[in-house]
Amino acid sequence: MRKKIVISTGAGISAESGMSTYRDAGGLWDNYPVMEVASDEGFARNPALIHQFYSNLRTKMSQSVMPNAAHRGLVELERDFDVHVITQNVDDLHERAGSSHVIHLHGELMKVRSMRHPERVYTLPCDQLTDKGLVTTVDTRDPYGDPVRPHIVFFGEAVPNMEPAARLASQADVFVIIGTSLVVYPAAALLQYVPHGVPVYYIDPRPAAVPAWVNVLACKATEGVPRLIEMLRK
């Protein structure tokens, strides 16, 4: 049986592809207060702004953002291991690179869902929703006539995929953390579910303080993932 590698990824892996985060200076988020475009209260106050913001972000991602060597390296690991990715990122770069098993903790940028029936989730572009491709507005309706919202976990909302993510972490033979400051919860708590004695690797150019038994690679994801692959194959 192949070893199970569970990989937790954060903003750092996507930043190398040009996907700015709300912490980046000069990025799209600089033009908007975070709580106005990433909270339930913000959506209630100004749904048009949130539709516009995420439509712009989708357009940028589809036009200029591509998977990088780190994303592709994690796919390469699937040749030898049972690889599962748990990501805090809302982009689809892991899927576009070819990863087979991806759990999104904070939602998915390329999807919207019904506001009346949240189980109805649609991937954009979807002709049934809009003739403008990746653009949605307050007037966008699903095939049942329901208004839609971005399929994003806003600040303060529950994280539906945390339970399956924690279960995966508890089953890991190897656990890997890439590109995260380990301060965003509940994702930062995944390390607590990893069984005692399981090897843990942490790739980040500015790694947070971690226990001594964690193997730290203080470098960017595109540099650290090839090193990780070499270490795991030995």
Catalytic residue ranges: 106
CB-CB contact of 213 with 200 (8 Å) = yes
Coil, strand, or helix at residue 102? Answer: strand
Task: Tell me how far apart the alpha carbons of residues 178 and 89 are, in angstroms, rounded to a whole number.
Answer: 12
DSSP secondary structure letter of residue 207: P
Q: Identify each DSSP E strand in the chain by its residue range.
A: 4-9, 82-87, 102-104, 107-114, 121-123, 148-152, 174-178, 200-203, 215-217
Closest listed residue to residue 85, CA positions, set 181, 4, 193, 18: 4
Q: Report how far apart, in Å, the C-alpha atoms of 185 and of each of 57, 80, 88, 180 are.
A: 23, 31, 10, 11
Amino acid identity of 77?
L
